[in-house]
Structure 1
Amino acid sequence: MAKIDSELRELLISVTFLLFSFWIILKLTSGAVWDWNGWSVIEPQSYPPCEANRFLQFTCSTAWIGMIETIKIAILATFFGMILSLPMGLLSSRNLFPQYITYPSRALVSACRSLPSLIWAIIFVILVGLGPTAGIMAMTIYTVGYLGKMQYEAIEGMNSAPLEAANAMGLTKAEVSLWVVIPETANHLIAQMIFMFEYNVRSGTVIGIVGAGGIGYYINLYLKFLQYEKVGAYLFIIFMVVMLIDLVSIYLRSFFTDESENNKPTWKGVLFPKNYVKTTHLIEN
């Protein structure tokens, strides 16, 4: 009975917070979210003609196209960032390599993380031009810095017994990394990658404002035309999509972590993510 009361209390807190968030959005957009003219962003574009089934014509809308492009940017940035950050994380681990290797590697990881993805997006828009390519490159660089730090902290925190056994067998650094370190920390690495994808989706909604692709491009466009009702509709869509991705992310990460609060995904965990606050605090310090 106490468990049911606790779950009802958590549900009430979550619903209250959601309603409060909707109220804030309404205030910020002067009620534009509920202006039907703003919701024309989910209607198919007049050009090019939409060839989808009439029940799927929303897939030709600017909201759908922009949000899908943002998710694609986040997927590619997370994928490339994971590939590049894993070697950097290994080289930055003091329990694997000497200081003359770990210090330069950590400096490079910190340099990638020193600028937010929005600033990297501005830099790459200048270098390669407008479009999602600049967004992918910007978020990849930041992902390398963000994931690299989390990875070498996870590697340094692993049990030392497997490393000592591998060194006693005379394995090389590459063999130790490939056959001992990565399998031992695989759950942490996968959970970090899922978390980073979730972060990149949120970040990807912003970088489009500077021309790096995604739904932010349309937000910037309608802001210039003072069509705030459409901006409000985009913000509402982003809010709901990010909340859904957060919930799915918590569920997926629960398979790779042992922490009890992640075992059962809830809206409270999305709205008040304890692990996210803790991880962000550690990274910022």
Structure 2
Amino acid sequence: MRRHHLVIAILALVLLAWMTFLDVVGKDWSRLDGSLDNLILFFSESIWPLDWSVLDASPPCEGAEGFFCSPAYTGIIETLRMAFVATILGFVIALPLSTLAASNLSPTWLSIPVRIFLSAMRSLPSIIWAIFLLIFIGIGPVAGIFAMALYTIGYLGKLQYESIEGVQNAPLEAARAMGLKRSETALHVAIPEAANHLISQLLFMFEYNVRHGTVLGIVGAGGIGYHINNQLKFLAYDKAAALLVVVFIVVVAIDMLSMYIRSFVTEEGDVKRPSWGTVFLPAGLAARYHHKKNIQDEEE
């Protein structure tokens, strides 16, 4: 009976979504005419084949050669550094706030305002924070770091206090019976009990910031998105697409690596850990393709 109700609820949601879609589209169906043909034409003339010159030094720089001076390498490294700093900064600030927001550690008069603050921090996506910060800080990775850190505080803080609230009451009651303060209970009992979830959330947030760090670069907040935006300005769609492929490979590699690390801290013992081959295979294939292309260009 419950399964029957679930099916009805899902069908009702699908129907509601379809009706909403029709209402939003309205009379704009004509815009879809020929869109597939335009997409194929645009892909064949402007994007394919991809221009892998973004993996070469342009312009040449001091202290590095070839790939290590390329827009793809310098951009993705800057994006990774931005995401790492923003994630750690947000984690360090969000963790104490999450203990204040947890209802099993703090009274209502304290947890509710902290939850409202965390909600305000995540109400605006990173790109909106970046637009505001660019006005005060200026163009560059610093604005991107603080933008991602602000969103990380709100988003990660919510995940953390929900994990802390999921801790069993017995250890907390034992700590209170021993006369420990709230801060001591949080530090010595609640956080260690929820440590596995907190580490998993930290890794997930780093993945999230790497992906969104690419978008922030488009508005001038540094990273590989800055180079993608430059290529789009000059209508070099083949180079922009090549940079997007680089982002895709790096994000997939980070996702596989994060999954591998999380498998050691999750309680699901039957999780199949990805092999190192699946982690580095995409990057290896791309590097091999670029190497062969360089050899062919030299022979020509």
Q: Which residue of 65, 69, 83 corresponds with 1:60?
A: 69
Cα RMSD for the two superposed structures: 2.1
Name the amino acid aligned to 2:61: P
Kindly indicate whether structure 1 or structure 2 has the higher relative contact order, using CA contacts under 8 Å at least 6 residues apart: 1
Q: Distance in 2 between matches of 1:41 and 1:27?
A: 24
Q: Distance in 2 between matches of 1:81 and 1:196?
A: 10
Q: How high is the TM-score relative to the length of structure 2?
A: 0.75
Secondary structure at the aligned position of 2:247 is classed as helix
Say which one has the larger Rg: 2
In the alignment, what sits opposite 1:118? Answer: 127
Q: Distance in 1 between matches of 2:264 and 2:187?
A: 23
Q: Distance in 2 between matches of 1:159 and 1:41?
A: 52
Q: Distance in 1 between matches of 2:95 and 2:84?
A: 17
Q: Distance in 2 between matches of 1:46 and 1:265?
A: 38
In the alignment, what sits opposite 2:243? Answer: 234
Deviations 1:224-251 (A, max 9, x none): 1111111110111111111111111111
Q: Distance in 1 between matches of 2:211 and 2:120?
A: 22
The runs of 5 or more residues in structure 2 that have no matched partner are 1-38, 280-300
Shift of 1:46: 3.0
Q: How high is the TM-score relative to the length of structure 1?
A: 0.79
* Aligned ranges 1:1-285 → 2 under 5 Å: 30-31=43-44, 34-35=48-49, 38-49=51-62, 51-52=64-65, 57-260=66-269, 262-265=271-274
Secondary structure at the aligned position of 2:274 is classed as coil
In the alignment, what sits opposite 1:283? Answer: none
Secondary structure at the aligned position of 1:30 is classed as helix
Q: Distance in 2 between matches of 1:262 and 1:220?
A: 39
Higher deviation after alignment, 235-244 or 63-72:
235-244
Please tell me whether the aligned partners of residues 210 and 217 of structure 1 are also in contact (alpha carbons under 8 angstroms): yes
Name the amino acid aligned to 1:47: P
Please tell me whether the aligned partners of residues 253 and 262 of structure 1 are also in contact (alpha carbons under 8 angstroms): no
The runs of 5 or more residues in structure 1 that have no matched partner are 1-25, 271-285
Name the amino acid aligned to 2:139: L
Give the paired residue count.
Answer: 239
- Identity percentage of aligned residues: 53
Closer/same/farther in 2, CA of residues 266 and 120 from structure 1, 3 Å limit: farther
Secondary structure at the aligned position of 2:78 is classed as helix
Secondary structure at the aligned position of 1:197 is classed as helix
